[in-house]
Amino acid sequence: MSICVTGGAGYIGAHIVRLLQQAGHQVIVLDDLSTGVPTRIGDATLVQLDLGDTAEIPRIQAALDGCSAVIHVAGRKQVGESVARPAWYYQQNVGGMANLLLAMQAAGVDRLVFSSSAATYGEPNVARVREDIVMKPINPYGESKLVGEWMVRDAARAWGLRGVNLRYFNVAGAGWEELGDPAVLNLIPMVLQKLQHSQKPAIFGDDYPTPDGTCVRDYIHVVDLANAHMIALDYLERDERPFDAFNIGTGNGNSVREVIEMIGEVSGLDVTPEVTARRPGDPPVLIGDVDRIEQVFEWKAQHDLRSIVDSAWRAWQAGPRRIAL
Ligand SMILES: NC(=O)c1ccc[n+]([C@@H]2O[C@H](COP(=O)([O-])OP(=O)(O)OC[C@H]3O[C@@H](n4cnc5c(N)ncnc54)[C@H](O)[C@@H]3O)[C@@H](O)[C@H]2O)c1
């Protein structure tokens, strides 16, 4: 089959592309290369365009010719940037989804897997977040993802799109050393960057109502996540619901302190942290309830925190930011 992956040159997208290629699919990548790297997609066809630009709809439609499904990974994902430039975030994430859906309908492609986020939940006051709680995102990034989910739902109602929204929790690790996360936005790369510069890793607040006072998150290995997309493609072929949403996580939480200590264990480096003030908008605990995806997809995360950190460390050390030991 031919599968289109938007954002396929990015961190997560490249893992999905690699798994699709290994499964024998032809892959077409739509990417503006703003954060993506073209060498990450192997022999997939690259169509370089900005999905947020309405003038590109004909090119998106042409690229979709012959595709059986789209995995829509492309998006802007920085919370702080979304607060500073909300209209641009809506243009990119919501406008990008609108242009993609218009092109898909015109091209007769009616299968879609969408990269959504746990940021759509906001600050839920529950131990584990189920898919059916009231969603209250607290920043334009989360809002733009939630609107994207609604657009998938509405296209399912309006013209028969079959769509799945996958709400990612904290994605980390690397499936291949050359596919590590190039951005320094999430905890593990942030800690590694500090260590690279011989600085102490930062903990933003250790007075949260959690066992060790630091924030607890649900870390999911990027390969487990990418695998769930393969199953999502199969799910879209089933006669079940035309539209659905699933959490992708492990159902377990690890604290910031535990992650930093695991980096110390895996790397052998001194990771004594520096505790600074809380960041606004960080909920104390965010863990996905993964009962639904485990039952419906018969999928379960295989990698634990050690495996995630170990793979992230190896990828970091294989790249240009290698830490001298
Ligand atoms: N990394 C995480 O922990 C995480 C968590 C939840 C959700 N997500 C979502 O997963 C998706 C991928 O995240 P990632 O970590 O791989 O980020 P990334 O920045 O590495 O990848 C995004 C890719 O999309 C491309 N892109 C961005 N805007 C585009 C546009 N307007 N037109 C065409 N291409 C565009 C970029 O060039 C890049 O290749 C994002 O939608 C993000 O919101 C990520």
CATH of the domain at 56: 3.40.50.720
One domain, residues 198 and 54:
no
| pLDDT value at residue 241 | 86
Ligand 1 pocket test target in 16, 29, 35, 97 with most atoms within 8 Å of CB = 35
| pLDDT value at residue 239 | 85
CB 29 within 8 A of CB 13: yes
| pLDDT value at residue 4 | 98
129-154: per-residue pLDDT in tens? 999 999 999 999 999 999 999 999 99
Q: What is the DSSP letter of 5?
A: E
One domain, residues 95 and 181:
no
CB 29 within 8 A of CB 44: yes
Q: How far apart are CA 260 and CA 69, in angstroms?
A: 39
One domain, residues 31 and 154:
yes
- The total domain count for the chain is 2
- Paired strand residues for 216: 255, 285
| Sign of the CA dihedral with 114 first, then 7, 50, and 112 last | negative
Residue type present at position 139: N
| pLDDT value at residue 305 | 98
Query: Which atom of ligand 1 has the smallest separation from the CA of 77?
Result: 43
Q: Which of 248, 266, 299 is the C-terminal boundary of a domain?
A: 248
Is 23 contained in some domain? yes
What parts of the chain have a pLDDT lower than 50? none
| pLDDT value at residue 202 | 96
Is 325 contained in some domain? no
pTM over 0.95: yes
Q: How far apart are CA 269 and CA 1, in angstroms?
A: 46
CATH number of the domain bearing residue 275:
3.90.25.10
Starting from the edge strand earliest in sequence, which strands make up the sheet with 216-217, in order? Answer: 254-255, 216-217, 285-286
Q: How far apart are CA 69 and CA 161, in angstroms?
A: 10
Question: What backbone torsions phi and psi does residue 184 show, to the nearest 5 degrees?
Answer: -115, 75
Q: How far apart are CA 222 and CA 71, in angstroms?
A: 15
Query: Which atom of ligand 1 has the smallest separation from the CA of 8?
Result: 39
CB 71 within 8 A of CB 21: no
One domain, residues 98 and 117:
yes
Q: Which residues are catalytic?
A: 141
Q: Which domain holds residue 281?
A: 175-217+251-318
One domain, residues 38 and 59:
yes
Is 189 contained in some domain? yes
Q: How far is CA 197 from the centre of its chain?
A: 27
One domain, residues 166 and 106:
yes
| pLDDT value at residue 282 | 86
Q: How far apart are CA 289 and CA 153, in angstroms?
A: 21
Cα 99 to Cα 43, 49, 81, 268, distances in angstroms: 26, 12, 22, 48
CB 286 within 8 A of CB 168: no
- Tokens coding 110: 């009616």
One domain, residues 115 and 262:
no
Is 54 contained in some domain? yes
| pLDDT value at residue 227 | 98
Q: How far apart are CA 196 and CA 176, in angstroms?
A: 21
* Cα 96 to ligand 1 centre (Å): 12
| pLDDT value at residue 143 | 98
One domain, residues 11 and 154:
yes
One domain, residues 118 and 189:
no
Nearest to 313 by CA among 252, 253, 254, 269: 269
Q: Is 33 in the pocket of ligand 1 (CB under 6 A)?
A: yes
Q: Tokens 């289109």 belong to which residue?
A: 4
Q: Is 249 in the pocket of ligand 1 (CB under 6 A)?
A: no
Is 112 contained in some domain? yes
* Cα 7 to ligand 1 centre (Å): 6
